[in-house]
Amino acid sequence: MRRESHVRFYEGLGVQLPRATRRNIYVRTERAGKRVMASVTRFIERRLRLKVNADKSAVAPTEERAFVGFTLRRQPLDGKVEVVLSKRSKDRIDIKIRQMTPRNWGGSMHSCIERLNQYLRGWMGFFGICTAGVEYVLGGLDAHIRRRLRAIQLRHWKRKRTIARRLVAMGIRSKTAWHTVYEGRKSRWALSHTSAVDRALRNSYWDARGLVPLKRLWARHPRRIVAPVQLRLALG
């Protein structure tokens, strides 16, 4: 529905809400959802004489509909409702991470990590209310961030012999380091995920340089909420 439709409909019910572009109505069954959808559409189009945007309005399970970046999921066994990230939110942060860690980054590693941490803290300040299903996603994002930073670090070291010497200085066997760097024609991106580079630029290496993992931010988030056991009718 359009914004004006939502605002006028809720204000007509005596509900004071800030202006927003979308609202969700939660009911127990699909049959009830279709009945409510028909009633709301009829009220908006006949009484308010406004047009409902059919492309953005639908009756569907909560798992298939996102709202301000979240999706609700109900556990079939105990009926608890969990707040999880929507697919669009996952895609957006992945794109943002790629933009903030370009392979041709010319600044210092410290400035790159500092800028990245600032964004991740702000992102977690909003999405930290997720209650479940996020650990695996955040773990994958953390691993992806570290790999992109490894690729940047390898580019900063420039020459292959410099990379090999650095790996040896970080505890990698000399034979392994030189073989890894000079075997085939590996790009910096391919080299960033080899065993030798993974062990040299391990997680503790980035922890020492101030990188804050998303999983750690989520675990320490002070505003984590517990969703209600049942949702009868909610105006999102």
pLDDT digits (tens, 9 = 90+) for 141-162: 999 999 999 999 999 999 999 9
**Distance from the first to the final alpha carbon of the chain:** 13
Which pLDDT value is given to residue 59? Answer: 73
Tell me, yes or no, whether 229 lies in a domain.
no
Residue 70 bridge partners (DSSP)? 67, 85
Whether residues 23 and 123 share a domain: the answer is no
Domain count, the chain: 2
Tell me, yes or no, whether 226 lies in a domain.
no
Report the distance separating Cα 29 and Cα 43, nearest Å.
21
Which pLDDT value is given to residue 14? Answer: 52
Whether residues 54 and 167 share a domain: the answer is no
Whether residues 199 and 107 share a domain: the answer is yes
Which pLDDT value is given to residue 223? Answer: 54
Question: Where among 67, 85, 103 does a domain terminate?
Answer: 85
Whether residues 158 and 187 share a domain: the answer is yes
Listed range (16-30, 71-85, 121-135) with the worst mean pLDDT: 16-30
Tell me, yes or no, whether 171 lies in a domain.
yes
Average of pLDDT values for 77-91?
Answer: 82
Count CA within 13 A, CB hemisphere, residue 63: 6
Closest CA to 200 of 139, 161, 158, 153: 153
Using CB atoms within 10 A of its CB, is residue 1 exposed (0-12), middle (13-18) or buried (19+)?
Answer: buried
Whether residues 63 and 94 share a domain: the answer is no
Report the distance separating Cα 83 and Cα 43, nearest Å.
31
Which pLDDT value is given to residue 124? Answer: 92
pLDDT band, very low/low/confident/very high, at 30 (cuts 50, 70, 90): confident
pLDDT band, very low/low/confident/very high, at 3 (cuts 50, 70, 90): very low
The pTM for the full model equals: 0.74
Whether residues 119 and 206 share a domain: the answer is yes
Whether residues 95 and 208 share a domain: the answer is yes
Q: What is the average pLDDT value for the chain, to the nearest integer? A: 81
Written as six digits, the tokens of 92 are: 């957006």
Tell me, yes or no, whether 230 lies in a domain.
no
Tell me, yes or no, whether 165 lies in a domain.
yes
Domain containing 75 equals 3-85
Question: Where among 60, 85, 110 does a domain terminate?
Answer: 85
Whether residues 208 and 97 share a domain: the answer is yes
pLDDT band, very low/low/confident/very high, at 224 (cuts 50, 70, 90): low
pLDDT digits (tens, 9 = 90+) for 154-197: 999 999 999 999 999 999 999 999 999 999 888 999 999 999 99
Whether residues 131 and 181 share a domain: the answer is yes
Residue 227 bridge partners (DSSP)? none
Question: Where among 85, 109, 144 does a domain terminate?
Answer: 85
Report the distance separating Cα 114 and Cα 109, nearest Å.
8
